Amino acid sequence: MALPTEPIGSIPRPQSLLTGLADHAAGRIDRDALDALFDEAVRDTIARLEALGSPVVTDGEQSKPSFVTYPLQDLDNLAPDGVTIPFADGHVRQLPRLTHGPFRYGARAEGYLRAAQRYATVPVKQAVIAPSALSLLYPAGGIEGYAHDDFLDDLIGEAELDIRGALLAGAHSVQLDFTEARLSLKLDPSRELLHALIALNNEALERFSPVERGRIGVHTCPGGDQDSTHSLDVDYIELLPSLFTLNAGAFYIQLASEPEPDRVLSVIAKHSHPDQIIYIGVTDPISPVIETPQQVRDRILRATEHIDPERLGTCDDCGFAPFGDDVSTSRDTAWAKIAARVEGTALASEQLGV
């Protein structure tokens, strides 16, 4: 069987949808018209992925407000002045702040999955936000009448429902986006914050059976957005040993943009468990340079010097447009990189005889 290969999540939106979003914001089209544009973008995204030979597809997050904020739609207990996330180029992203309890999701991943399944003829994976990221919504000063422990109990319960709903709806796999892992080491070099975030995610993962956890993976990257990152300057070696204490069946690991991939691969080989599947990033979404299939093949072959091909797969380093307003990568560039990943993975599989 060929090495598995999967997209991470977001794909840049088509111009028709970008125009429609602007028209809706300005009151020129109604919600039904915008929903029709979302639906067409999902259909086209899946069709293009399948045409490129992708054995697993996603909806490209065409209708999500962002990979992290989709559960927060239509909630009335949020203020805009939450935690800020600075990027290396100077721009920031800001999370909202929870103002009162209880905390409940306003939307669930299952809805996006079912919309994608209407058009897919191959398996569909579903990305969900890790509860660790949403834990940052709770303000440092606390919330009167809503203790932090009560919030975490609610958050874990909601995260479980989000993951379980996608599994029960037939997701090929469910990917927890844990991009704040590396950032946490910049915010707190003592690793206490990282360990707390991992413990929180494990509390959610422990609610699933071993078979279910085999279909749950974790994605980590340095937060690619607008051709910049928030934590690429943090040494991966500081994160990876702890990352593999997460009780998940697969790991999607940004690697193409790493300056010392062999060093990273050796740590993965040392600290990952034999039953964990390792998907290595072989394309860099924030680089304008389009990888060739031969470059992808060679990156995979290098990885097999450290990791048994039986537990190796490939992916893109990150999503190509994790926030809805990120247009730094074109849709055509994303397709070219995905094509190189799919073809390069096939070339490596052939050379490895798998």
The list of the chain residues with pLDDT below 70 reads 1
Q: Are the C-beta atoms of residues 166 and 113 closer than 8 Å to each other?
A: yes
What are the beta bridge partners of residue 218? 176, 251
What are the beta bridge partners of residue 278? 251, 312
pLDDT tens track for 94-107: 999 999 999 999 99
Strand blocks (E) in 99-199: 126-129, 174-177
pLDDT computed for residue 1 by the predictor: 61
- The type of residue at 66 is S
Which residue is it, tokens 């914050």? 193
Helix (DSSP H) and strand (DSSP E) numbers for the chain: 12, 11
- As given in the structure block, the two tokens for residue 37 are 């544009």
Distance, in Å, from the CA atom of 67 to the CA atom of 90, rounded to the nearest integer, reads 21
Distance, in Å, from the CA atom of 141 to the CA atom of 30, rounded to the nearest integer, reads 40
- The type of residue at 12 is P
Q: Are the C-beta atoms of residues 171 and 215 closer than 8 Å to each other?
A: yes
Provide CB contacts within 8 A for 153, sequence distance 6+. none
Q: What are the chain's domains?
A: 5-352 (3.20.20.210)
- As given in the structure block, the two tokens for residue 288 are 């304008």
pTM: 0.96
Distance, in Å, from the CA atom of 66 to the CA atom of 119, rounded to the nearest integer, reads 22
pLDDT computed for residue 326 by the predictor: 86
Phi, psi dihedral angles at 277 (to 5 degrees):
-85, 135
pLDDT computed for residue 324 by the predictor: 80
What are the beta bridge partners of residue 175? 127, 217
pLDDT computed for residue 102 by the predictor: 98
- As given in the structure block, the two tokens for residue 116 are 């994608």
pLDDT computed for residue 325 by the predictor: 84
pLDDT computed for residue 130 by the predictor: 98
